Amino acid sequence: MDRAILSSSHLDNLDFTALAKRPCAVCPSEMSELKQCLLQARNLKTLRLQVGDLSWHTSWHMNDGYKESPLNLPFRDGDMFPALEELTLDPEHQNYFATAENCQMWSRCMDWGRLHTLDFGHGTPTALLQALTGRVSQLKTLNFGFWERYGAARAYWNSNRDMKVLERFLNSIDALRNVKTYCDDDDDMQMVRPTLLAKHGQSLRSLEAKYARSVAWEPEHFYNLAETARGIKILRLPMKVQRKEGTKGLSVWPDDRDTRKTSAVARLKKLFTISSLPSAATHRSVHSALTSFRHLEQLHLRMYLEVDSYQLISYPNSWSTGSPQIKEKVAHKLMLRLWHDFGRKSAIQRIEVAFVAAGGSTKIWHYTVSRKWEKRRSDGIWKEKVVVEMWQEGKDYDPSTFDPFC
C-alpha cells in the first residue's frame, strides 16, 4: 500500500482492492490503514473499492499495513470522509461487512449530496440502503442486484429479505436515469420493478437486466416498460421465443402457411407475439412494445432459443441432435425487418441480438444492425447504408467429455 499516493490531495479517482487474511467480520486487513489515508485525500471524487482475500494473491504477504479490525472502513466520530461523486462498493466479492453500525457512521462522516453514481454490483446491502435513504436524492445511476455471491459478508448484501427497505430507498431518490440489475432469477426484480418504474419511469434513459441463468422477461414486462418509460434510450434485456400456436414446437415466428400473412411487417410482428394471453390482448406484442420507444437509440436483446426453434436453427439430422447451426439468411432478414419497423423517424442507431443456443451447446450468434457510411466505387460518393454483421462464440456439447464424477 502506497500511503503517499493514497493520502494525496491530488488523488481524485481510485480503484483499489483492499486485502484481508481469511475475510471475516474481524480480521487482519488493510481497511483501517486505507481509511486513514483516504481521510486526507480530500479531493477524492471516485472510489471503486473491492475487498479481496490475501490467500488468492500468492505473491503478496502481510506487512505492517495489516491491522486487526472490522472488515469495513472503520469510521469513528469526527472523521470527515471526502465527498464522493461516484462510489462502487465491493461489486463482485461481497466481503465488505456493511453492518448497520458501520453504515450509519459512514452516512454521518461524509457529505452524500454530490453522489450521482452508486454501484453495488451483484448485491444490495440492506444496512447501507437504510442509512442512505433520504441522503442521495440527486442520484442518477444505480447498479444493484440479488445475485448471491460467496463472500464472507454475503448475509449483509441481499435485501430481498425485506423489499420495503429497497422500495423506500428508491422512492427517496428524485430521478434515476441509469439502472443496471444483476439477479439469479427474476422473482425478486418482479417485486421491485413496479416501484422503480412508477417513481423513475419518466426519467429513465438506460436499463440493463442481467441474470445468472437463462432467464427471460415475459411479454407483460415489456408492455409495462413501454407504458412507463417512454424516454428510454438504451435497453439491454433478455427474452425468449414464443410457443407456436397449434403445434408443440417453439419458433421465432410462425411461417406463412400457418399465418396466411405474407408481408414482412406481419411476419416480424409474429416474432414476439405471445399466444398464451387472453384474446383481448393478442394484438399486443413485444415487437410492438419495443418499436414504440421513439427515443430508443440502442437495443440489445439476448434471445434464448429452444431445441425446436426450427425457423432459426438447423441440425445435421432430423432428431434435433448434433451441432446446431444458425440459419444465416433468416437471421439476417429478421434483423433488417426489426430495424425497418422502427421507422424513419425513430432515433435507433444500433440493434444487437444474441441468439443463445439450447441444450449442451454454448454457441451464441451475435447479430448487429446499424447505419454505416460507405464509399461507392463507381463515383467515390459516400453514402449511408444499413449493415448487418454477425459473429459467433462458444462451442458444441461434446458427450465424450462428460465425467460423472465431477
The rounded percent of the chain whose pLDDT value lies above 90 is 60
Q: What is the pLDDT of residue 162?
A: 79
- Are the beta carbons of 172 and 134 closer than 8 angstroms? yes
* Residue in the block written with cell 448484501: 157
The rounded percent of the chain whose pLDDT value lies above 70 is 82
Q: CA of 103: how far to CAs of 77, 110, 177, 292, 327, in Å?
A: 13, 11, 25, 42, 53
CA distance 217 to 304: 11
pLDDT interval class at 294 (50, 70, 90): very high
pLDDT interval class at 283 (50, 70, 90): very low
Whether the predicted pLDDT of 272 surpasses 50: no
Instruction: Tell me the per-residue pLDDT of 22-76, one tens digit each, with 9 for 90 and over.
Output: 899 999 999 999 999 999 999 999 999 999 998 765 555 555 668 898 999 999 9
Average pLDDT over residues 380-406: 75
Q: CA of 156: how far to CAs of 25, 95, 120, 135, in Å?
A: 11, 9, 12, 20
Tell me which amino acid residue 312 is: L
- Are the beta carbons of 83 and 114 closer than 8 angstroms? yes
Q: What is the pLDDT of residue 102?
A: 97
CA distance 210 to 179: 11
Q: What is the pLDDT of residue 245?
A: 52
Lowest mean pLDDT among 116-130, 206-220, 244-258: 244-258
> Could you tell me the pTM of the whole model?
0.86
Whether the predicted pLDDT of 237 surpasses 50: yes
CA distance 383 to 254: 35
Of 85 and 155, more confident: 85
Q: CA of 30: how far to CAs of 52, 237, 336, in Å?
A: 10, 38, 54
DSSP assigned state of 285: B
pLDDT interval class at 288 (50, 70, 90): confident
Q: What is the pLDDT of residue 57?
A: 55
What rounded mean pLDDT belongs to the chain? 85
CA distance 138 to 320: 53
Q: What is the pLDDT of residue 400?
A: 52
User: Which of 157, 110, 161 shows the shortest CA–CA distance to 136?
Assistant: 110
Instruction: Tell me the per-residue pLDDT of 259-269, one tens digit each, with 9 for 90 and over.
Output: 334 344 444 44
Q: What share of the chain is helix, strand, coil (3-state, %, to 5)?
A: 30, 25, 45
Phi-psi label, residue 394: left if phi above 0, alpha if psi -120 to 50, beta otherwise = left
DSSP count for the chain of H helices, then E strands:
11, 18
Instruction: Tell me the per-residue pLDDT of 13-24, one tens digit each, with 9 for 90 and over.
Output: 999 999 998 899
pLDDT interval class at 374 (50, 70, 90): confident
DSSP assigned state of 158: B
